[in-house]
Structure 1
Amino acid sequence: MMLQNNICRLRAVDTEDLDFIYELENNPALWEFGNTITPYSKFTIREYLENAHRDIYEVKQLRLAICNPKEEIKGVVDLYDFDPYH
């Protein structure tokens, strides 16, 4: 099943997204929308991306990259505190 239309496509994050996600996570103007108030190292983000394939039922979260039709990453969407019961 593909999550896409003619405007954007949602896909799994990949290690190639490291620089984009590093900039995103370390932008203090965006911290109010997330769950952090401290910057992340590239090492920490690289480790996260290498393990991002893990199952949502196991890690209770899912991050998808938002890409344009040219496959350029433009943003991310996060599902967290996933509870299959609710």
Structure 2
Amino acid sequence: MKKTHHSFSTQTILGVLALLLAVSFFVWRNFFIPQPATIAILVEDGGYGLQMTQTQAQAANNSGATITDTQTGKKVLTNFMMLSNRLSNLP
């Protein structure tokens, strides 16, 4: 049996890997990092019955806010800005 030989050059393989790396970076940057501005717009302009409040401790530590559903009174999201602040400080 004759062994088959693939004729992919090193340059082609590196090009494909570079393209995958670039696409992965932009997907990670745009979709997996929380966007606090988007959340604030949703709360302020969305009209979904959400209320954003901030305790004195959250304000003092710049650690975020709490989003509450005004119809049920249940907390939807707490300290959501803390994670995004930490991620935005990454190099």
Q: TM-score, normalised by structure 1?
A: 0.32
Who wins on radius of gyration, i.e. which is larger?
2
**Which structure shows the higher strand fraction?**
1
User: Which structure ranks higher in relative contact order (CA pairs < 8 Å, sequence separation ≥ 6)?
Assistant: 1
**Which structure shows the higher helix fraction?**
2
